[in-house]
Amino acid sequence: MRYYIVTTTKFADRCLYHLIYGASQSNWLANINEGDVVFLSQFSYKSQNLFGPLRVSKSLFYNKDIIYPQQKYFYRIQFEPMEEIKVIEETDLYLNGIQSKNMTLFVRIINLIQQNKHMHCITLTNDEGRAIFETIQQYGRNYDRNLEKSQLISELETINCQYLWEKNKLDKRKIFSSESDLEAYLILSLKNPESREYNNLNNLLNKYADNDLHLSEVYNQFIFGNAYPSDVTILNQTNMNVLELKKGELTPNVLQQLEKEVRKHLYYSMFSDRVKAICDGERFNFYLICSKHSGNTKFKQSIIEKYDDLCRRIGRIRENTITFIEYTIKDNEVFFEEI
């Protein structure tokens, strides 16, 4: 079981009335499983509220019923109240920090929500999730609106690897149409230890010691604590693996953006209290994943030099590595290979 915050600026009542939350891209809710606990955040200039606790009853699916006025948000999860739904304000979190004499944790949670209120989904560490749960129990006020589990009219399509394969027409195109779908496909593959993609990626991680997937936790979109997402982060006791995804081949434009992204991953991960709760951070492994193309190798040395320069700036606090991966489409699967 994991904890998440799902965010909205104005549709909290609709989410709770229908007991459904929606996003506009396939990857934003891909990591959430049935049984996980979510809190609904509505932070705007009018209010700073958290609602819950809610337990996920149906993981990621696609449905086109109109729930949010003039909005799409067709990638959805469904949840149910774990107990009576309550609401707290941001100040209740601060109060609990005072009362529990653990201000560091609760200020971290408040900053987390404020910095990332624009994101659809915020992954919580276990201590953060438990702290919000306890705050709701202690200080929560009853949410007294009527609730109705939505009777969805249009078809519910489960989002899985097959769905994404067909949506992207991978048999013909051989490349994902968006990085969000590539990310969602990878996340869903990592949930299935029996898949060839899972074992393929596990072999790539195993080039470094103590880096098995079955010993790791997988995060997407957000974990470091700053208002900047990483595509996929795989953490275990020793290794911090960051997977940066590019749907196409490497180009000069990609390289310009890549340097900014690598700098943030390297720096923000170093002293993150959120990461330290999961990983000692002895080794940082950066994996650059792009589509297979004959021109990729000509950019490899330039990227390594920029990466090494960024690593030199932070000294020898930890071991930092970089690995180049190409993905190809064959035999009805996505295959990942080091270059």
Q: What CATH number is associated with residue 303?
A: 3.40.1350.10
Return the ∠ at Cα 135 (arms to 6 and 235), rounded to 5°.
Answer: 55
Shortest CA distance to 134 belongs to which of 163, 97, 103? 97
Query: Does the bond joining 252 to the residue before it have cis omega, within 30 degrees of 0?
Result: no
Counting the structural domains of the chain, the total is: 2
Q: How far apart are CA 212 and CA 146, in angstroms?
A: 46
For residue 139, what are the domain limits?
Answer: 3-158
- AA letter at 198: Y
Residue 275's pLDDT is 83
Residues 93 and 169 grouped into a single domain: no
Per DSSP, 222 falls in state -
Residues 238 and 191 grouped into a single domain: yes
Question: Which of 136, 158, 180 lies at the terminal end of a domain, its last residue?
Answer: 158
Residue 68's pLDDT is 84
Residue 47's pLDDT is 81
Contact of 323 with 286, CB cutoff 8 Å: yes
Residues 119 and 133 grouped into a single domain: yes
Residue 81's pLDDT is 94
pLDDT digits (tens, 9 = 90+) for 108-125: 999 888 887 777 899 999
User: Which structure tokens are listed for 29?
Assistant: 């809710």
Residues 115 and 83 grouped into a single domain: yes
Residue 226's pLDDT is 64
Residues 182 and 227 grouped into a single domain: yes
Residues 16 and 108 grouped into a single domain: yes
Residues 183 and 125 grouped into a single domain: no
Considering only 43-47, 137-141, 222-226, 316-320, which range has the smallest mean pLDDT? 222-226
Q: 172 — phi, psi (to 5°)?
A: -100, -45
Residues 166 and 289 grouped into a single domain: yes
Which residues have C-beta within 8 Å of that of residue 55, sequence separation ≥ 6? 35, 36, 37, 38, 79, 80, 81, 82
Residues 266 and 200 grouped into a single domain: yes
Residues 121 and 247 grouped into a single domain: no
DSSP-derived 3-state class of residue 17: helix
pLDDT digits (tens, 9 = 90+) for 33-84: 999 999 999 987 778 899 999 999 999 999 999 888 777 899 999 999 998 9
Residues 52 and 128 grouped into a single domain: yes
For residue 65, the tally of other CB atoms under 10 A from its CB is: 17
End-to-end CA distance of the chain: 36
Shortest CA distance to 135 belongs to which of 278, 277, 3? 3
Question: Which of 139, 158, 177 lies at the terminal end of a domain, its last residue?
Answer: 158
Q: What CATH number is associated with residue 118?
A: 3.10.590.10
Residues 284 and 172 grouped into a single domain: yes
Instruction: Give this prediction's pTM.
Output: 0.92
Question: Which of 94, 126, 158 lies at the terminal end of a domain, its last residue?
Answer: 158
Mean pLDDT, rounded, for 203-231: 86
